[in-house]
Amino acid sequence: MSREILKYPNPQLSKRSQEITAITPEIAALAKDMAEAMYANRGVGLAAPQVGEPLRLIVVDISGPDERNDLKILINPVIVHREGAVEEEEGCLSVAAFRAKVKRAQKVVVKAQDLDGNAVEIPGEDFMAVCLQHEIDHLDGILFIDHISRLKRALYDSRIKKKLKAGKAKD
């Protein structure tokens, strides 16, 4: 079952997620649902808080959006190494119709667990590194728009407030 993706400014998106202490059938089902939601929305990554679950779980597959063959499910991911710098344009399934350049590490190494509870180490470079950092930020309640200038953020927030106000006027 694909899940609905929460949209900014939903307050759940700004909360820190909890560690997963046991990999249960419910966690496996959540990971499957998240992958379906990510694919259905033509995304390359999704974090559990984006579907309303405050848990440290991300799914990533940068092989798409047309061909999907490299799904990574990471439980309790932690960046253990960062190197270099890159500035890439980012978007987010939870941040409607907005893209902006964000500075991130060019290379990262992430340690996590897979669905079988095995320790995994995922090296990421360039786009994969950006994607991993973006999704792990979600687990700490950080959106990519938290990394942009105050002016750009204020303009985006103003646009969202107008949109929300217009939507309420229709009700």
- Cα gap 38→2, rounded to integer Å: 9
7: closest CA among 171, 156, 170? 156
Q: Does the annotation mark 135 as catalytic?
A: yes
Q: What is the largest CA-CA distance in the chain?
A: 51
Residue 49 preceded by cis peptide, ω within 30: no
- Cα gap 151→81, rounded to integer Å: 31
The number of beta carbons lying within 10 Å of the beta carbon of residue 81 is 12
Please tell me whether residue 124 adopts helix, strand or coil conformation: strand
CA dihedral 99, 104, 108, 113 (to 10 degrees): -50
Contact status, residue 21 vs residue 14, Cβ threshold 8 Å: no
Instruction: List the catalytic residues.
Output: 135
